[in-house]
């Protein structure tokens, strides 16, 4: 059967992105790069110049990279590693966007205050008079490794029966490999006006297990991007209870609802999706 990647959740990676409506001043990027007191220094201490940055980092069957997320040479990133050398945190700044990636997800009520605090710190630098934004995004990549004989691995072991978001033919598929992509726009009225793209990529692919045998892993990639009707100055919106927090909490709830629309009840319970 499919199991969550971790004991109490399936999140391989979470990404928080702020899109600039204008080019972010290079002086701000340089000032942050030269600041030894960045608030994420304990979890992402290593500073790098970067040539290209991708929101999506985790392995899985969906390798596409939005072309708008290519970074010029003057972009910077801070990274933190796990004990085994794998990436744990990344904070990246370039003239088009600011992105924070977490691959050691500690839970929403822990991670959001950290991320909000870092973004608030960036917005309050002396070189920031305003930060006009065209939108924000939140992405969760959830992984479910298969445990058991590969010949018994089927989509029905993962998916919610008779989900309105799943084609009926997929439930009859006699294979462990499959893909399903979907997307929609929903209106956004509070706290900013615009619309939100809800995009879900899910599927299962073959992987190499530690014992050398072939296994399978299902990945559900849930991406929400709120597109503002007009550029909004969000420089003061990351305070506790501010507009940015309200919108990110809304996107977090939407992400859980989209995951629940695909996931069977057993796995919803195992990942504590709606636990208080």
pLDDT tier for residue 127 given thresholds of 50, 70 and 90: low
Q: Does 73 score more than 60 pLDDT?
A: no
Task: Say if 191 falls within a structural domain.
Answer: yes
Q: What is the pLDDT of residue 64?
A: 43
Between 102 and 22, the more confident residue is: 102
For the entire predicted model, the pTM comes to 0.90
Name the residue range of residue 140's domain: 11-270
Name the pairing type of β-strands 11-20 and 132-145.
antiparallel
Distance CA 159, CA 179 (A): 12
Task: Say if 1 falls within a structural domain.
Answer: no
Q: Does 62 score more than 60 pLDDT?
A: no
What is the SS3 assignment for 261? helix
Q: What is the pLDDT of residue 49?
A: 87
Task: Say if 2 falls within a structural domain.
Answer: no
pLDDT tier for residue 7 given thresholds of 50, 70 and 90: confident
Task: Say if 3 falls within a structural domain.
Answer: no
- The overall average pLDDT reported for the chain is 89
Q: Does 44 score more than 90 pLDDT?
A: yes
Q: Where are the alpha helices (DSSP H) in the chain?
A: 26-33, 108-123, 243-262, 265-270
Q: What is the pLDDT of residue 56?
A: 47
Chain CA centroid to CA 140, Å: 4
Task: Say if 144 falls within a structural domain.
Answer: yes
pLDDT tier for residue 30 given thresholds of 50, 70 and 90: confident
Task: Say if 169 falls within a structural domain.
Answer: yes
pLDDT tier for residue 175 given thresholds of 50, 70 and 90: very high
Average pLDDT of span 108-136: 90
Q: Does 115 score more than 90 pLDDT?
A: yes
Task: Say if 4 falls within a structural domain.
Answer: no
Q: Does 213 score more than 90 pLDDT?
A: no
Task: Say if 6 falls within a structural domain.
Answer: no
Query: Which residues, 6 or more positions from 260, have their beta carbon under 8 angstroms from its beta carbon?
Result: 160, 268, 273, 274
The three-state (H, E, C) secondary structure of 73-119, written as one string: CCEEEEEEECCCCCEEEEEEEECCEEEEEECCCCCHHHHHHHHHHHH
Chain CA centroid to CA 9, Å: 14
- Quote the number of domains for the chain: 1
């Amino acid at each position: 059967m499919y199991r969550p990647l971790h004991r109490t959740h399936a999140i391989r990676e979470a990404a928080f992105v702020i899109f600039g409506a204008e080019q972010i001043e290079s002086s701000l990027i340089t000032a942050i790069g030269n600041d030894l007191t960045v608030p994420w220094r304990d979890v992402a201490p290593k500073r790098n110049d970067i040539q290209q940055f991708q929101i999506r980092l985790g392995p899985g069957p969906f390798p596409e990279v939005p072309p708008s997320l290519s970074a010029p040479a003057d972009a910077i990133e801070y990274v933190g590693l796990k004990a085994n050398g794998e990436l744990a945190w990344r904070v990246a700044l370039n003239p088009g966007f600011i992105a924070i990636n977490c691959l050691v997800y500690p839970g929403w009520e822990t991670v959001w205050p950290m991320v909000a605090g870092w973004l608030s710190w960036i917005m309050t630098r002396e070189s920031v008079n305003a930060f006009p934004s065209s939108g924000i995004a939140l992405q969760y990549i959830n992984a479910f490794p298969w445990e058991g004989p590969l010949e018994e691995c089927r989509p029905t072991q993962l998916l919610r029966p008779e989900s309105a978001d799943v084609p009926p033919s997929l439930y009859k598929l006699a294979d462990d490999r499959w893909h399903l992509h979907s997307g929609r726009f929903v209106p956004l009225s509070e706290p900013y006006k615009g619309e939100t793209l809800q995009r879900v990529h899910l599927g299962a692919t073959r992987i190499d297990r530690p014992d050398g045998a072939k296994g399978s892993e299902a990945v559900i990639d849930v991406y929400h991007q709120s597109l503002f009707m007009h550029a909004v100055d969000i420089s003061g919106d990351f305070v506790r209870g501010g507009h940015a927090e309200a919108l990110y909490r809304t996107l977090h709830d939407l992400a859980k609802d989209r995951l629940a629309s695909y996931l069977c009840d057993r796995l919803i319970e195992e990942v504590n999706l709606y636990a208080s």
